[in-house]
Amino acid sequence: MWKQTGEASTEDEHRIEAVLAQVGAWRGQTMRYRPVAGGISNHNWRVADAAGQAFFLKVPGRGTEMFVSREASNEASRRAHGCGVGVEVVEFLPAEGVEIFAFAHGYRASSNLDFMRGTVRHNAVRALRAFNDSPRLSLTKTVFEAIDEHLAQITQVGARLPEDIAQMRRCVADAQDALQAAGMDLVPCMNDTLAGNFMINAADELLLVDFEYATNNERAYELALWFTEMAFPVEIEQEMIEAYFGRLDRAAQARVNVLKGLADIKWASWAMVQEAVSTLDFDFHKYGTWKYRRARTQIYHPDWPVWLRHM
């Protein structure tokens, strides 16, 4: 349901109106706004100006400052648009951490079902590769640094940890030693490749959105995280590795298999922090428990030592 400025009745609506008042181009205009469903970190809004031009606006959720550099996110959003795979950023309010985007008319958030189509998968690989191949971003944070950060935050906020976290940490350390010995390929990565962060149109063309967690990271992590979100069978994972790298070899598959486990540990730990700090209506503990459980299928797999040797 649309509202217009001056009609706010909830805390979130008062906050969005306060944000709109800070945009110079909109001062003195009667703006319309309505919430956009989806997302588990922020409050998302569709906004329209007096001329009817539409925009997409994100208001950071409580506690997201623990995970997100808004300046780095804005840099990555602009980079993606410059690469031809992202949406135009029309305004950035650093003090509020608010990005305002042109509305992607004709596009919708994709679902896992969309990626059952080969055309969509290959378009996704091309979009990710375009962003990954761009010059490095200002912020570097590898998956290892992100895991360490989240585990420290869990202690800080008193969140819950799994009983086998010590063993998990040993597996992460072994993976870090092996990957650093093999050589890391640090490139710009979205680091958040769930289906809803790919916008799709009727022609199966894709745009990448939501660069809040974007940093320079190991290139293969981008694919590994995407695979954990998509739950592809092995045959499709191999197809996508070959499409991305131009070849399918043992080292690439080993690296992706290791990083799939680390991706789940990273996001499971993130969820446990969110459980303690977020005000959003989402079962973060269930989400995190599921992620830890799936991580175990990788890091405790009989082939884990083999993957480490062949990265």
Evaluate whether 67 touches 270 at the Cβ level (below 8 Å).
yes
How much of the chain exceeds pLDDT 90, in percent? 89
Q: Which residues, in sequence order, are bridge partners of residue 33?
A: 3, 47
Average pLDDT over residues 195-215: 96
pLDDT tens readout for residues 235-284:
999 999 999 999 999 999 999 999 999 999 999 999 999 999 888 788 99
Question: Which has more confidence, 1 or 300?
Answer: 300
pLDDT at 22: 93
Average pLDDT over residues 167-172: 98
pLDDT at 240: 98
pLDDT tens readout for residues 90-116:
999 998 889 999 999 999 999 999 999
Task: Give the chain's end-to-end CA distance (angstroms, integer).
Answer: 51
Query: Whole-number mean pLDDT of the chain?
Result: 95
Question: Which has more confidence, 302 or 279?
Answer: 302
pLDDT at 150: 96
Question: Which has more confidence, 64 or 204?
Answer: 204
Average pLDDT over residues 120-132: 98
**Using 50, 70 and 90 to split pLDDT, how confident is the model at 65?**
confident
Question: Which has more confidence, 187 or 69?
Answer: 187
pLDDT at 192: 95
**Using 50, 70 and 90 to split pLDDT, how confident is the model at 42?**
confident
Three-class secondary structure of residue 170 per DSSP: helix
pLDDT at 61: 74
Topology adopted by domain 108-310: Aminoglycoside 3'-phosphotransferase; Chain: A, domain 2 (3.90.1200)
CA distances from 175 to 94, 125, 254, 261, 296 (A): 36, 25, 11, 10, 14
Rg, C-alpha atoms of the chain: 20
Evaluate whether 198 touches 208 at the Cβ level (below 8 Å).
yes
Is pLDDT of 218 > 90?
yes
Give the C-alpha separation, 160 to 146, whole Å. 17
Closest to 47 (Cα-Cα) out of 38, 36, 37, 39 = 36
What are the residue ranges spanned by the domains of the chain?
Answer: 3-102, 108-310
Question: Which has more confidence, 40 or 300?
Answer: 300
Three-class secondary structure of residue 108 per DSSP: strand
Sign, CA torsion 133/138/140/141: negative
Q: Which H/E stretch holds residue 20?
A: helix 11-20
Topology adopted by domain 3-102: Phosphorylase Kinase; domain 1 (3.30.200)
Q: Which two tokens stand for residue 70?
A: 């808004």
Burial 14-34 (b: 16+ CB within 10 A, else e): ebbbebbeebeebeeeebbbe
